[in-house]
Amino acid sequence: MAERLLTYDVGSTYSKVSAFQRTGSGLEFLGRGQHSTTLEDIGAGLEAGRRSLGPEMQTALENAPILASSSAAGGLRMVAMGYMPKVTAKAAKEVAMNAGARVLEVVSHDEPPEYRLEVLREIRPDIILLAGGTDGGESESLLENAALIVRAKLAAKVILAGNAAAQPQAAKIFDEGNVPYVRVGNVMPTIHELNVRPARSAIHAEFIKQITRAPGLAQLAELVEGHEVVPTPSAILMGAELLAGGTYTQDGVGGVLLLDLGGATTDVHSVMPDLASLRPEERGLVINNDKQVAFRTVEGNLGLRVSASGIVETVGPAGILALRDRLAGRAETPAAPEEAERLTQYAAFLEAHTGHLPANAWEEEMEPALAAAALETALRRHAGYWVTEYNPVLGLPPGSPVGRDLRGIKWVIGVGGFFTHRPAAEGLAALKSVFENPGYSLFPEAPEFRLDSSYLLYAIGLLGKKHPDQALNFARRYLEMDS
């Protein structure tokens, strides 16, 4: 018997609804709708999205189980405290990745205690990641920072994720100081190992609590099976990980590079399953990202609406106008000062009018140019590069690869409203243009391009938690990845 399923994604601007049918043969996509997010009453926007699927579908989906993700509540404000600054920063970034938290500050043991206390009191975080020391190693920083957290008198929840041998003493400090905390596995049990999943799960649990407290969003949790609302970036990454790594019974497609272009940010995810088989000593120090199976970077100043001026400021009007000419198939011409000024003003207009759609031929050409500029900038910051001259600090000769090596990745996927609502040929052209001149960057060497044209990767990630094999098979068909 067929089972119908609904997936919701509640964003700050739009709420998306996707409908599926599950049978013995697999998953079938039934349709997609969306409506402006109504934060004061989440249900109203979602109901409008469901109605856009049509009256027959509305009736058929009346009692369908619901899975949901959301980015509308923002992220938990997080401060990370640890022993070594670079290691703590690395661990904090990896733990927060896709878990629904924003790392606002990283403080280490080499900074004065009063400074650390001041940071806590000024930021007043929702959550504190307390790391420090490998298992059985250094413990002084963990205990000193625990005492500082008690002194700060905050309402924050502490994720106690440091030296396992010192955790009982730190827990006693928190118990005596009436500080809420949860103990999880050490984020860095050995110098070569990064263990982020337990801490990430704890942050996700706090994110769900925040969802239930946010105005309107409590309704979303009530609608969802198990009351579990997943952070949207986490749902998208889960979809990419399912595609790349497969399930217990099926192989995935291998390396996946996902470029997610939004109105406020541009996110880049790379998933390389082959790295999971590396021995700890082959990974090197965990302060490097190049050997992590899944890695995500977020460019908060690059977006097609809320952060449009960030694209122009980063790339420059001349660079974007040159991109426009290339994408339009014209010879590049020097940018006239008045046109550069027009572009700068247009970007500011987009930031003030985030619902604006291109209204004339000039604006139609600027949309893919801005998109390509944001994507290329974000990818260069995510990818590694070739050393061009001898590096005496690292001892690397010219021609050495450094950082995240994406050369072996085959599949490149464009995600976001630009790829959903613009013509497919335009989206593909903008995506492909990013890879035309890699220069010294370690970009994929022979990529194949796909578009998440119906914005379903978040749904694939959500469905993969319950029905991994069927979700994987659907994803491969949807993205035409069986070649």
pLDDT of the chain, 483 residues: tens digit per residue: 678 899 999 877 788 899 999 987 789 999 988 888 776 777 788 888 888 887 777 777 888 889 998 876 556 788 989 888 777 767 777 777 666 677 888 888 889 999 999 999 999 998 999 998 889 988 999 999 999 999 999 989 999 999 999 999 999 999 999 999 999 999 888 877 778 888 888 887 887 777 666 666 677 777 887 778 888 888 998 999 999 999 999 999 999 999 999 888 888 999 999 988 877 666 665 445 677 888 888 887 889 998 899 999 999 999 999 999 999 999 888 888 999 999 999 999 999 998 899 999 999 999 999 999 999 999 999 999 888 777 665 667 787 888 899 999 999 999 998 999 899 999 999 999 999 999 999 999 999 999 999 999 999 999 998 899 999 999 999 999 975
Per CATH, the number for 76-208 is: 3.40.50.360
- How many angstroms separate the Cα of 325 from the Cα of each of 191, 347, 377? 50, 18, 18
Backbone angles phi, psi at 167, to 5 degrees: -60, -40
Contact 86, 136 (CB under 8 A): no
State the maximum Cα–Cα separation within the chain, in Å, rounded to a whole number. Answer: 71
12, two tokens: 């700050």
User: Residue 63: CB partners within 8 Å, gap ≥ 6?
Assistant: none
Cβ neighbours around 145 below 10 Å, total? 28
Overall pTM > 0.85: no
Contact 212, 241 (CB under 8 A): no
Placement of tokens 């339009």 in the chain: 328
Give the CA-trace dihedral at 63, 212, 229, 427, to 10 degrees.
Answer: 100
Can you give the three-state secondary structure of 151-197, one letter per residue?
Answer: HHCCCCEEEECCCCCCHHHHHHHHHHHCCCEEECCCCCCECCECCCH
Contact 232, 69 (CB under 8 A): yes
Placement of tokens 């930031």 in the chain: 351
Cβ neighbours around 422 below 10 Å, total? 18
Residues present in the chain in total: 483
Contact 239, 464 (CB under 8 A): yes
Domain boundaries, the chain: 76-208, 249-459
355, two tokens: 């619902």
Rounded Cα distance, 156 and 120, in Å:
10
Rounded Cα distance, 282 and 277, in Å:
10
* Local structure of 449: helix, strand or coil: strand
Q: Which residues pair with 32 in a beta bridge?
A: 18
Placement of tokens 């939004």 in the chain: 262
